[in-house]
Amino acid sequence: MRLEGVFARYGRRDAWVLQNVDGEVRQGDTIVITGRNGAGKSTLLRVLAGLLPVGRGKVRDRPDIVGWVPERFPTAQPFAVLAYLQGIARVQGLSQSLAQKTIDAWGERFFLTPFFATPLEELSKGTARKVGLIQALLNPPQLLVMDEPWEGLDAQSQAELPAVVEELTKNGGSCVLTDHRGRAADLGDVRHWQVHQGVLKEEDAPAPQEDAEHHVIEIVVRTDEVGTTVEWLREAGYDVHGTRERR
Ligand SMILES: Nc1ncnc2c1ncn2[C@@H]1O[C@H](COP(=O)(O)OP(=O)(O)OP(=O)(O)O)[C@@H](O)[C@H]1O
């Protein structure tokens, strides 16, 4: 998928939010978009997902199946969680039995099953975000676009996200996301796009800085303790660079 000279804005009289953006998303890519508040990161995600039409320029070869995970999942809808996900699966063309199997599997994986009967309006912010995530994954997307996916999720679900991204990209999908908390360090090989005042620049991975006052320690923990350990270290103020399987 390619963006060629893309300009985007929200109203015909507004200033351009994105200006002359060129970029290519290739199969298997994970791209992390960074930039200051208001730089245009979410706007770029909406353009990629096809939710905001471009004012000038072209978007070429957007995949047919795009999953969109919004920063705020809209809970003002008159459905319980399960009925909502079943409705989304139906719209996406999944058969009833496949839909149920898929919803059950994601519900287990993200600890959402106990909330299946809860009305969307009664969900906490974090639980609502899980619904926002799962609805985007029901029909495996060829492009997954996520706005701050770690935000508001519980520690176990946060720890599960890198595996979800890896499964998708290994199967030829691509993933583009924003992450102001630095959690994308858990994702392995990623490309970095930086947005500054609506202009996009591709960056090399940030170079490790020489720093005589800090050292890096590698620690080994049990697989089922990775999420809680990472969370615990971050809460204690440590900078966790990433996790990997022991080889
Ligand atoms: N729905 C909207 N209608 C009008 N203007 C908008 C809308 N959404 C964003 N903007 C404007 O577009 C600009 C870029 O916003 P955007 O949300 O893309 O930035 P961002 O980099 O994602 O910021 P943040 O990190 O704060 O989420 C801002 O000036 C913002 O006010």
pLDDT band at 244, cuts 50/70/90?
confident
Torsion of CA 217, 221, 227, 228, to 10 degrees: -90
Ligand 1 near 43 CB (within 6 A): yes
Question: Is residue 52 over pLDDT 60?
Answer: yes
Q: ipTM value of the model? A: 0.96
Ligand 1 near 75 CB (within 6 A): no
Distances (CA, A) of 238 to 57, 180, 191, 212, 235: 43, 16, 24, 16, 7
Best of 7, 12, 17, 148 for a ligand 1 pocket test (most atoms within 8 Å of beta carbon): 17
The SS3 call for residue 235 is helix
pLDDT in the model for residue 31: 96
Distances (CA, A) of 74 to 7, 45, 125, 129, 132: 27, 17, 10, 9, 8
- Ligand 1 atom with least separation from CA of 71: 27
Convert the pLDDT of each residue in 101-148 to its tens digit: 999 999 999 999 999 999 999 999 999 999 999 999 999 999 999 999
Show the tokens assigned to 82: 């399960």
Cβ–Cβ < 8 Å for 141, 66: yes
User: What is the rounded distance in angstroms from the CA atom of residue 203 to the CA atom of residue 201?
Assistant: 6
Ligand 1 near 39 CB (within 6 A): yes
Question: Is residue 36 over pLDDT 80?
Answer: yes
Question: Is residue 39 over pLDDT 60?
Answer: yes
Ligand 1 near 17 CB (within 6 A): yes
The SS3 call for residue 228 is helix
CB atoms within 10 A of CB 160: 17
pTM (2 decimals)?
0.83
Which residues are paired to 208 by β-bridges? none
Which residues are paired to 196 by β-bridges? 199
Q: Which residue, by CA, sits nearest to atom 30 of ligand 1?
A: 38
Distances (CA, A) of 21 to 9, 48, 200: 13, 11, 6
- Higher per-residue pLDDT: 210 or 111: 111
CB atoms within 10 A of CB 229: 16
Helices and strands per DSSP (H, E), number in the chain: 6, 9
User: What is the rounded distance in angstroms from the CA atom of residue 147 to the CA atom of residue 178?
Assistant: 5
